[in-house]
Amino acid sequence: MSNRYDVIPDIHADIDRLERTLDALGGGATLAFLGDFIDAGTATREADDAAVLTRVRQLVVERGAVAVMGNHELNAILFHTLGKDGIPLRTHSDKNKAQHRSFERQFGISTPQAKVWVDWFTTLPLWLDLGGLRLVHACWSQPDIDLIRKRRPDGCLSREDFPEIAAEETDFAKAVKNLVTGPELPLPEEHQAFQDAGGHPRRQVRIAWWRSTATTWQDAALSVPTPSELPDGDLPQNRDVTFYPVDAKPVLTGHYKMTGKPTVETSNAACLDFPADPCAYRWNGETRLTDDRLLVV
Ligand SMILES: [Mn+2]
């Protein structure tokens, strides 16, 4: 395996974007995917979950590409898996079905074809440590990885973990969820909810865990369209979020649907998911991530 990696974030069933990205990268380095292969957003013109999955699996088998699991793959596993009571581990609510629409349209629910891909999702590790480079879908939290590793040393989940993960109650389940969806903090009780991008009131604020110098709500918040709706002051002291240490190895993530010009925010942690300007990162062994390794497709 080469020690160069071309890292590709969330494809979300956009086969055209995947092919353009592969063409732009050219194929000199090992490919690495950050998960969320499936479930097209509303803006995708030609959603084709099957084409994306077939292509990525082929790259894994034939070209030694590597990939981590995204929250959409974990959700799909739970959606198509029945619990002991015969009820799906992820409820088939209108919201969950809407999010999973493009996959369901091609494969149905719990069909043999859907199961083929659910089984493949199960082979994807929650994180990868590639020596000088780390990959995770949403959050590299060392305490959570250490906890999961005690049961699953290679970061790959097992079928018997799924009911526990669906219930979201144990420390193991919470750790898994944090790696694939990222940390959130509740607003202080006395503070008003903010409006999310969909216009819905929300009290849980996504936290940019890679901004290790952030101290205030305004510094740390992600996905808050009107930051002035956030509290003015500092984050709570007794918070449950681990910021990424400034001296830790570089890590790349997807997931956050960032807006604005694609950029490496900190020199050892960067989110590559900029849906309006699809990116890849060409890692060449450097210990400090830089903007000039970002390729906007
Ligand atoms: Mn995601």
The whole-angstrom separation of Cα 213 and Cα 216 is 9
Report how far ligand 1's centroid is from the alpha carbon of 257 (Å).
8
1 pLDDT above the threshold of 50: no
Distance 82 CA to ligand 1 centre (A): 23
121 CA from centroid of ligand 1 (Å): 14
Share of the chain above pLDDT 70, in %: 99
Ligand 1 centre and the CA of 41: distance in Å?
12
CATH class of the domain comprising 5-142+245-296: alpha beta
| 77 contacts: CB under 8 Å, gap ≥ 6 | 89, 118, 121, 122, 162
pLDDT tens digits, 11-60: 999 999 999 999 999 988 999 999 999 999 888 888 999 999 999 999 99
pLDDT in tens, 210-266: 998 899 999 999 989 899 999 999 998 877 788 999 999 999 999 999 999 999 999
Question: 190: CA distance to ligand 1 center in Å?
Answer: 30
Report pLDDT for 2. Answer: 56
Q: State the distance from the centre of ligand 1 to the C-alpha of 184, rounded, in angstroms.
A: 14
- Please provide the average confidence, as pLDDT, over all residues in the chain: 95
**How remote is the CA of residue 256 from the centroid of ligand 1, in Å?**
7
Q: How far is the CA of 35 from the centre of ligand 1 (A)?
A: 7
Residues 6+ apart with CB under 8 A from 139: 178, 179, 181, 182, 183, 209, 253
Residues 3 and 132: their CA atoms lie apart, in Å, by 9
